[in-house]
Each structure stands twice: as structure tokens, then as C-alpha cells.
Amino acid sequence: MNKQQLIEFMRVNTYKPLTAEELISAFEVEDMGSFLNLLREMERSGEVILTRKNKYGLPEKMGLVVGRIQGHARGFAFLIPDTIGEPDVFISAEDMNGAMHNDKVMVRQRKPKDGKKPEGEIIRILRRANDTIVGTFDRNKNFGFVVPDDQRIKQDIYVAKGETMDARSGDKVVVTIVNWPKPGRNPEGTVFEVLGRADDPGVDVLSIVRKFQLPEEFPQNVAQEARQVARISGEDYDKRQDLRNMKTVTIDGEDAKDLDDAVTISKKGKNYLLGVHIADVGYYVKENSELDIEAYNRATSVYLVDRVIPMLPPELSNGICSLNAGEDRLSMSVMMEISPEGEVIDHKIASSIINVDHRMTYTAVRKILVDQDAELRKKYEDFVPEFLLMEELCGILRGRRLKRGAIDFEFPESKVILDDQGKPKEIKKIERSVAEKLIEEFMLLTNETVAEYMYWLEAPFIYRVHEPPAPDNFLTLNEFLHRFGYHIAGSEDKIHPRTFQAVVEKVHGKPEEKVVSTVMLRSMKHARYTSSSLGHFGLAATYYTHFTSPIRRYPDLSIHRIIREYIEKGNKLNKERLDNLQQFTAKAAEQSSLRERIAEEAERESVDMKKVEFMQRHLGQTFSGIISSVTPFGMFVELDNTVEGLVHVSALTDDYYQYVEEQLALIGQHTNRVFKIGDQVKIQVVKVNIAAREIDFELVAN
């Protein structure tokens, strides 16, 4: 089967449009993935006309759906469909047919046994995802095998005797798959890198780097181009609005090195004049340059527990593009006039040059505004009035945002502090102060302002979107909330975020706050990038983009270039350029969404690993905690440092406990003792499994 055969088939059958099913049945297709790719290509070019068009040209009656496999440690999996809005499909372990976690597959759906959730069987593996796997090596006399770190990959990898690179049992290794699994047969591979002993300093995080295939070093051509990026020249000044005389500050964390946003503020009568200045990274990272290609591929910086894997080389991220105090810097500035009610009544976006007066930290600003620190107020007395104005405007903007229905979850955050050997020595709870909140509000407003401006220009653009929950998820969420006496108003096809925020406000400070907020968050769709403006449900925003972090996010970087191009050419781009930009923004949005998900998973795993490792040092010790959720198999208890562990129902030895779903509680059959969400308990740490990221607790008497 090839393109010419398909064209000939179409020529003979010109009397009617064809369904994809008819085309599939007309050929003996061995490689369904290649066939579908060819079919899609010909459909786009008009060489094939199908009676039902979708991304894969698959007719509904065939019951076929394409997507990515999300494995589970217990062997089953879910298909996450490529088509937005389609429900996930349950795949039993018996129906995996050699597929592995993250593979791109085709599934044939069948009528579910329970009549509720879709089920299916994998019939084609379109693209393998795990060319390399990180795991722990175990040597036998004549061969070895690797146990994957990712427990969602269930099969061990067989390694022949001569393919082990002399790895020892207990070594962390990276193995390349040479033969994929089949029903009844494990995958086979060859070791190509020995990372070291599992307990060697840094090997644990390095294993995560390899597992997610995160790029560590920049290619030589990229590093060389970064070194050659020119400093600001006088010619650049002439083309930009000179804002160096404006009182400007950056406000970031103490350890931040890539400072990409600065702010200015003043009053105009009753109105506020807010300037948000973002490093003009796109000026240095030219379109299709080596730097740009590398930034596109990475799409985001990755912040692991002990290291940062940056999107851009340090010569840019920590150097010429960082808005360091006392140095002239190129920026993209958004100057907004804001009414006392928080409405942007006028704005201007311009290429600019700034010079930051002070590099402020969140801690210092908090001490100035909240603690009234006399020493810091004296040190920064020239900026204290501006900080007070920022606090005032922050309150107005936040109030306006919440009034329109933005959802404001308040989950406790923490940071793992490591020693020189990479071992966790402390878990610090992070409190968001007014300093963090005012920068957050200013950046949110800027992102909205830019998104709306570019939308009405009808420019090719990258938006940050967050769609409403799927109808099934909405109904399931309300069933859960009813157990606590809460309800989200509206119907599944018409949901407003204000109704979600109403529940968030009602549950605030209640014992069930965390579990309710968590379940509500999980009911929502994942925010993503797209070239279409679909709104942001969580922010209750009609238009939204990511504009304010071009050093660490590719969408921000790329839209800076588009905005500057529109400014310089007076919104007049020819059709060819518009078409090229439209194609680019669609691809960049998809790539950035993918890389963001990978980065989030890697970041979360590195932190969870260190939290579990930290608790290993506290085996046998007792702590106070709060029951955060209750399940049929036990209850999860969260400690004050945000670490969570499981008290298994089998460890409750004073009675036989039954799970009562209506109350989300465990109740003793004889004693009527009740364990429910929000109860304070005292626990002992009895078991820690770093590989599985699991901590087991047992209750102790108060």
C-alpha cells in the first residue's frame, strides 16, 4: 500500500465519497499507523475525501479510538484519547497486548461491563514511547534484568550476558529496548549507561533526569551561538521607548537568578499607572536560530529538587536577558491605566529599554509591608510609597478577579532543603505573603491584557486555555460534594467558575478543605496551550496567554516576537507570513503542552522522592497529623510538613473497621469509633519505600 495505490483506488471509485472503513478494508494493511498518517496527509491535501472527517479518519461504528496509554502500577491502564473531550478508556491488564506506559495506540472499544465507563482492547501500537528505561539492575549467572523505576511499566527487561556493561546488582542503569514485549514475553534490552549505586549522592535525581529524557547539556552549536549573542548597541536604543528613568524594581525569591519581570507603579488622579516590563528574550533568540530550535525542543525550564535544567543557556537566562539591577536591559513593556475598580481602561505594548533600581526579594517586601521593618523601610525609603501602592492595587485586582468568579485554591506548599550530599535535611512549609500575591496579580492582569489585544487583532498567537470540566466529571464531582453538604450549581453543559469558587469559600478552614479542593481540582481539565482563544475557566478569564516568563517558557518567548513584528509592521503582515505563523503557533502550542506535562511530572517525582527519603530518617518516630482522606483500604494522614502517609486498615487492630462511603469514614464494628477527614491523630512512621514513593504510618495512643 502506498500513496499511488490510494490515488488509483480513488480514481476508479470517483462515483461516491468513501468512508475510512471502506479504504481500510480495500487494502491489506499491516502497519495501521503508517496507513493512517498517509490517509491524514492525503485528506489535508484534498486527494482523499472522506464522508466523516476527524483527526484519524476513523468511522464511529468501528469503535476505534487513538491516544496515549497511561499505565498503572497494578497492571491495568487507561487510554487518554487524542481528541479533546473524549472520555478515557479503561484497558485491563489482559487487553494490553504488549503495550507499555505512554505508548501511542489504537483501541477497539466495547460495551463496558458496568454500563458506565468505556472499556477496550489495544489492537495496534502506533508509536513506542520507551526506547530507553531507567531501573535497578539485578544480575543472575547467565543474564541480568532491569526492574524499571517507573512502576507503571510492569515488565522487567531481560538483558543478555554480554549486554550488561558489567553492571552490578543494585546499580542504577539505563537500558535500551531492542525487542518489544509481546503477550507472554518480556521486553529485551541492552545496558548503555551505568549511573552508579542507587544510594550514591545525586544518582536518584539523575535517574529521574534520564527517565524523562531531560536534556542536560546544551549542544555545542547552541552554546556557541549563546556566547556570540551581541550586547545592547546604541542602534537598539533608538528603536525602543526609553523607560530607564522610571522607578523600577524586580521582586523574586532569594535564590532566583533568571529575573524576567520588573514593575513600575504611580498614580494619575484616582487611576493607577502600572508598568510590567518583561525581558525581551525574543530579540536575542532569533526565529529558526540554533537557540530557537533548542528552546522549542525543550519548551520549558525544569525545576528539579536539586537542580534547574534551563530552557536557555546561562549566558542568556542568567546574563543578558536577566533584568539585573543597575544594568540597561531590553524589554517588552505593557503600560496599563487601571481604574479604582480594577478595570484596565487604557494600555500600550511597546519595545523598551529599562534599568532596574532595586533587586527586591519577597521576604524583604513582606517585611516592609507586613512587619513594618524599620531598617528595611529606611534602606528602601525611596520605594516605600510604591510598595504601598502595589499592595493597594493588588487588593483591588484580586477582589475584582474573585468577584467575577476566578477559582482560588489554597494548597499548602513546601520546599525540600538538601545538604551537600543531596540528602534531605528539612522540609519547609511555604507561606504565600502579600509580596508573592501582588506580583501574581500584576502578571495575571498583564497576560489577560496582552491576550485580549492580540485576539482582536486576529493575529496568529499562542493562548493559555483552561476548558470547563467534562460533563461526566461534573456529575461525579457533585455526587462527591453532596456527602459533605455542598453542591455546585449549574448543569453539566453550562458551568460557571463562580459556582466552584463559592464551594471553595464555604469549605475554607473546614476539616474537609483539602480533600474537597483536591477532588474539585482533579475534576477539571488540564490547562494547555493552543492557537485558539478558548478562555480560562479557572481564572474566569475570556482571554489569557503566557507572556511574562520568556526565559523559562517557550510560548512567552515566541509571542514576544509576534507582538514585536506586529508593532514594527503596523499590523500589516502578508498572507504567506500569516499562514506560516498560524502553522507555527499550532505546532509550538502542542509541543509546549507536551513538554510542560513532562516537566511537571519530573518535578513532582523529584520532590516526592526526597520527601519519602526524609521520612526514612524518622522511622519509629511519632508525629501529629490530620486525616486528609479516607478510603476502603485505609486513611491518609498529612503531617504539618505536608508529608502524607497511609494508615492501612489492617493496622487498625483495636476493632474491625468498615468503610462507610456516605460518610467517607472508617467506623469500628464493635466500638463505633469513627475516623473521618479532618480528625487529628498521632502516628508512628513504620515503613518507607523510596522506590514506590510510599510511607506507612500506624496510629499510636494520644
Residue pLDDT, tens place only, 74-119:
889 999 888 766 788 999 989 999 999 989 999 988 876 655 678 8
* pLDDT at residue number 582: 94
**What does the pLDDT average to over 686-693?**
90
User: Which of the four pLDDT bands, split at 50, 70 and 90, describes residue 73?
Assistant: confident
pLDDT classification of 20: cutoffs 50, 70, 90: low
Question: What is the predicted pLDDT for the residue at 54?
Answer: 42
Whole-number CA gyration radius for the chain: 28
Rounded to an integer, the average pLDDT of 170-177 is 94
Edge-to-edge, what's the strand order for the sheet holding 665-668? Answer: 657-660, 665-668, 674-676
- Average pLDDT in the 672-699 region? 92
Indicate if the pLDDT at residue 55 is higher than 70. no
3-state secondary structure at position 208: helix
Single-letter amino acid code for the residue at 354: I
Helix (H, G, I), strand (E, B) or coil at 432: coil
pLDDT at 17 over 50: no
Is the Cβ–Cβ distance between 99 and 112 less than 8 Å?
no
Question: What is residue 544's three-state secondary structure?
Answer: coil
Q: Is the pLDDT at 22 greater than 60, yes or no? A: no
Mean pLDDT of 215-235: 83
pLDDT band at residue 551, thresholds of 50, 70 and 90? very high
Q: How far apart are CA 465 and CA 530, in angstroms?
A: 7
Residue 203 has pLDDT above 60, yes or no: yes
Give residue 14's pLDDT band: very low, low, confident or very high (50, 70, 90). very low
Q: Where are the domains of the chain?
A: 1-62, 63-127, 132-198, 220-467+530-606, 471-524, 618-699
pLDDT of residue 49: 52
Residue scoring higher pLDDT (619 or 184): 619
Nearest to 312 by CA among 321, 304, 303: 321
What's the pTM? 0.85
Spatial CB neighbours of 551, under 8 Å, sequence gap ≥ 6? 258, 260, 279, 281, 301, 310, 311, 312, 316, 317, 321, 322, 557
Query: Do residues 463 and 531 touch, judged by C-beta distance below 8 A?
Result: yes
Q: Report pLDDT digits (tens) over 403-431.
A: 999 998 888 888 999 998 889 999 998 88
The CATH class of the 132-198 domain is mainly beta
The pLDDT mean for the chain works out to 88
pLDDT at position 277, please? 98
What superfamily in CATH does domain 63-127 come from? Answer: Nucleic acid-binding proteins (2.40.50.140)
Tell me the pairing of strands 157-160 and 132-139: unpaired
The pLDDT of residue 51 = 47
| Cβ-Cβ contacts under 8 Å for 686 (sequence gap 6 or more) | 619, 620, 651, 696, 697, 698
Band of pLDDT at residue 327, cut at 50, 70 and 90: very high
pLDDT at 392 over 60: yes
pLDDT of residue 42: 64
Q: Tell me if 63-127 shares its fold with 618-699.
A: yes
Cα separation values, 156 from 136, 143, 204, 378, Å: 10, 13, 19, 64
Q: At 377, is the pLDDT very low, low, confident or very high (cuts 50, 70, 90)? A: very high
Share of the chain above pLDDT 90, in %: 65
Give residue 235's pLDDT. 59
Q: What is the pLDDT of residues 452-507, one digit of tens each?
A: 999 999 999 999 999 988 888 888 888 888 888 899 887 766 788 999 999 999 99
Q: Which CATH number fits domain 618-699: 1.10.1740.10, 3.10.180.10, 2.40.50.140, 1.20.1730.10?
A: 2.40.50.140
